[in-house]
């Protein structure tokens, strides 16, 4: 393997899980973990396909109930929740794919996924059954994630300009 091949391979493998390590046991363990992440990617793809089928099923069931072909307020929340779950699963798959393909954990994407997950929870939240302290907690989490996302995005923009 020449230096160019090593450099290319180094970019494809996480620095935390190098393919080349002085201890043979550690090399094997790193390979096991990288393959486990590949398996997670395959499983996430299956989950996404299953979730899309579930969205179709949810929409069909709500449209098949009387009054036919009409969705009420609660039906829309169920449909939106199902859609958001698929989108969150896709974001998680992208995180896994980026994890496999680079030596950097995509912090901004992880934060965006967390924001999407908390947004889904807020969208489907039943405000009549939710205590005010939980709403304040969601607000604090959203604010913290939003500010963190903004700071990370700002830092990345600043680094690309410089």
Mean pLDDT per block of 10 residues along the chain (162 residues) reads: 46 59 84 88 96 92 86 83 90 85 76 90 86 94 95 86 74
Euclidean distance between CA atoms 88 and 84, whole angstroms: 6
Of 156, 159, 42, the C-alpha closest to 107 is 156
Task: Say what the pTM is.
Answer: 0.70
């Amino acid at each position: 393997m020449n230096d160019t091949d090593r450099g290319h391979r180094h970019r494809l493998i996480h620095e935390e899980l190098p393919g080349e390590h002085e201890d043979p046991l550690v090399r094997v363990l790193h390979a096991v973990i990288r393959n486990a992440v590949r398996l997670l990617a395959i499983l996430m793809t299956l989950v996404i396909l299953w979730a899309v089928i579930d969205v179709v099923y949810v929409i069909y069931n709500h449209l098949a109930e009387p009054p036919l072909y009409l969705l009420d307020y609660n039906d829309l929340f169920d449909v939106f929740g199902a859609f958001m779950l698929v989108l969150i699963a896709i974001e998680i798959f992208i995180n896994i794919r980026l994890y496999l393909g680079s030596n950097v954990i995509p912090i901004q994407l992880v934060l965006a996924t967390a924001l999407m997950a908390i947004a889904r929870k807020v969208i489907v939240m039943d405000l009549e059954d939710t205590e005010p302290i939980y709403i304040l907690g969601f607000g604090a989490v959203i604010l913290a994630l939003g500010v963190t996302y903004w700071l990370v995005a700002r830092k990345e923009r600043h680094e690309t300009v410089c």
